Amino acid sequence: MSNTLTIALAQINPTVGDVDGNTALVRAARAEAAGSDLVVFGELLLAGYPPDDLVLKPAFLDRIENAVSDLAKETAGGGPALLIGAPWRREGKLYNAALLLDGGVVAHEGLKFELPNYGVFDEKRLFSAGPLPRPTPFRDASLGVMICEDMWKQDVARHLANAGADVFIVMNGSPFELDKLGQRHWVATNRITETGLPLIYVNLVGGQDELVFDGSSFVLDPHGKVSIQAPSWEQAVISTSWQRANNGGWRCETDSVSATAGGLEAIYFAMTVGLRDYVEKNRFPGVVIGLSGGIDSALTAAVAVDALGPEKVHCVMMPSPYTSTESLEDAAGTAENLGVTLDTVSIEPAMAAFSGMLEDVFSGHTADVTEENIQARARGVVLMAISNKLGHMLLTTGNKSEMSVGYATLYGDMCGGFSVLKDVYKTTVFDLAHWRNRVRPDGLLGPAGRVIPERVITKPPSAELKPNQTDQDSLPPYDVLDAILMGLVEREESPQDLVTQGQDAATVRRVWRMLDLAEYKRRQAPPGVKITSRAFGRDRRYPITNRFTGTA
């Protein structure tokens, strides 16, 4: 009987649908972990996560099964076994599976029992639930393999422990959201406390559409102490040595704890990784950004440079008669700090052209928000034209506060293919700008030092669509607005709840109404990186036609 095991945690970045590429990543990780007994990967790794309706295509599942067969055969000649995630067909049903490839065959199949059906997850639509899994025999150990959600409830862990499991291994596709790492550790510790077994947690890393995976894999001993903490936001293959104790249990002999990102740093890395992978996995040569001299576009440009490098970021300033000298200077200063190309294209001729074109139709009507929206749409046309000509993807620059209340123009500043700030409130935008001016973590491609001019952060925000305009002409102060939105959106509180907490009743009712009315705009917005627990899109699905007022 062997009393030792070497298990490698493979925290890698798959691409949904790229079965050949994902298989190559598995082979590379196996080669890197050549001295290990077993290499453990994340959930649905061969397909990429989440595969959504790709798993409804028989041809896709055929490719997956062929890849599994090829990988299994490669284990026949020795070297590490593989514990890998894949969609798996059995008896006319489709399962989310953990497959042990060893000795040239699929030695064991574990099927996910708990299928999440909340937030961004809708696995019950795609997969059948497996039975409570039995332990996976491997060498002289008994592995209690769980797939992501299986760990978040008690039944699977208790069942595996009662059936004789020695070590829990959890294969995950756990998307990032703020403070998620602490939640994972807390849940894992609960399973350990209930069973007395150590736990290996392996997560994916990288961006997939709106979702971004932070990695942050870990190992906890039977007392909940962290033995291994993998880094956040980067691929890693980490070898761990295990020893059978005198009492028959297993303990991790390796001690390696990397620093993990939290708070503003975690948000910033989520944005950069999400943007980088969206651009690179969709094969865009770079991005184009409308740089207004305001804080949202400046922060978006900083994230883009940090994610892609300055040579792949093309900025455009589009002044109108209402654009201030300060904004021209601030856009130029931001571009200079970041080292990006900045073109200037005036929209004044377009404004004059539209005014002449619409003169007869608008006769007898006074100027209003219509003329403001024409400016935003003229800018959208310019940016989309540059995007079409150069092949660069257009980034939108609106933040969550604006998207919540509809302070954005359809087919104008909402034009674009991806949004970095979609799930970031305005108050957090200010905090991130201050943070990035102080800090440049390793791994970013932008310059150190101040990247956003101080005046961009300190001047009153303005769309500059009419003389002397500020955002607070139309919106409550952002600290007030964000506090109300966090209650209505993140916590699903009622207007009365917020009034009881001290918010002004009229302001709460006004924000509630704006939030509801803007749903039709959000349905037409581009995808953006999920940061919070209630991101617009997959997380929060409300009807456009909706007469519920939230009041009695």
| Model pLDDT for residues 271-294, shown as the tens digit of each residue | 999 999 999 999 999 999 999 999
The pLDDT score that the predictor gives to residue 1 is: 64
- The predicted model gives 161-185 an average pLDDT of 95
DSSP 285: S
The pLDDT score that the predictor gives to residue 71 is: 98
The pLDDT score that the predictor gives to residue 547 is: 81
- The predicted model gives 324-343 an average pLDDT of 95
State percent of the chain over pLDDT 90.
86
Q: Which pLDDT band, with edges at 50, 70 and 90, does 546 fall under? A: confident
Q: Which pLDDT band, with edges at 50, 70 and 90, does 89 fall under? A: very high
The pLDDT score that the predictor gives to residue 78 is: 86
Q: Is the pLDDT of residue 263 over 60?
A: yes
Q: 55-85 burial by CB neighbour count: b if 16+ within 10 A, else e?
A: beeeebbebbbebbeebbeebeeebbbbbbb
Pick the CATH number of 264-471 from 1.10.287.70, 3.40.50.620, 3.40.190.10, 3.30.360.10: 3.40.50.620
Do 395 and 274 meet the contact criterion of CB atoms below 8 Å apart?
no
The pLDDT score that the predictor gives to residue 464 is: 60
Give the Cα separation of 97 and 175 in Å (integer). 19
Q: Is the pLDDT of residue 172 over 70?
A: yes
Q: Which pLDDT band, with edges at 50, 70 and 90, does 467 fall under? A: confident
- The predicted model gives 38-67 an average pLDDT of 96
Do 149 and 114 meet the contact criterion of CB atoms below 8 Å apart?
yes
The pLDDT score that the predictor gives to residue 460 is: 81
- Which residues are catalytically annotated? 43, 112, 148
**Closest by Cα among 26, 37, 35 to 70:** 26
The pLDDT score that the predictor gives to residue 361 is: 94
**Closest by Cα among 426, 420, 448 to 529:** 420
Give the Cα separation of 48 and 34 in Å (integer). 24
Q: Is the pLDDT of residue 552 over 70?
A: no
Across the chain, mean pLDDT equals 94
Burial class (CB in 10 A: 0-12, 13-18, 19+), 499: middle
pLDDT digits (tens, 9 = 90+) for 229-261: 999 999 999 999 999 987 778 899 998 898 888
Q: 26-48 burial by CB neighbour count: b if 16+ within 10 A, else e?
A: beebbebbeebbbbbbbbbbbbb
Give the Cα separation of 320 and 278 in Å (integer). 32
Give the Cα separation of 185 and 188 in Å (integer). 5
The pLDDT score that the predictor gives to residue 249 is: 85
Specify the higher pLDDT residue, 44 or 247. Answer: 44
Taking the CA atoms of 160, 161, 166 and 172 in sequence, report the sign of the dihedral they define.
positive
Q: Which pLDDT band, with edges at 50, 70 and 90, does 31 fall under? A: very high
pLDDT digits (tens, 9 = 90+) for 358-396: 999 999 999 999 999 999 999 999 999 999 999 999 999
Query: What's at 109, amino acid-wise?
Result: E
Superfamily for domain range 4-260? Carbon-nitrogen hydrolase (3.60.110.10)
State percent of the chain over pLDDT 70.
98
- Find the farthest-apart pair of alpha carbons in the chain and give their distance in angstroms, rounded: 92
The pLDDT score that the predictor gives to residue 53 is: 93
The pLDDT score that the predictor gives to residue 355 is: 94
Q: Where are the alpha helices (DSSP H) in 339-368?
A: 348-357
Q: Is the pLDDT of residue 540 over 90?
A: no
pLDDT digits (tens, 9 = 90+) for 211-229: 999 999 999 999 999 999 9
Give the Cα separation of 495 and 508 in Å (integer). 6
Q: Which pLDDT band, with edges at 50, 70 and 90, does 538 fall under? A: confident
Q: Is the pLDDT of residue 501 over 80?
A: yes
Q: Which residues does 23 contact at the CB level (< 8 Å), separation at least 6?
A: 46, 67, 70, 71
How many CB atoms neighbour CB 291 within 10 A?
28
Do 415 and 384 meet the contact criterion of CB atoms below 8 Å apart?
yes
Q: Is the pLDDT of residue 503 over 60?
A: yes
Query: What's at 395, amino acid-wise?
Result: L
Ordered by start, the domain boundaries in the chain are: 4-260, 264-471
Q: Is the pLDDT of residue 549 over 90?
A: no
pLDDT digits (tens, 9 = 90+) for 447-463: 999 999 999 999 887 77
Specify the higher pLDDT residue, 262 or 279. Answer: 279
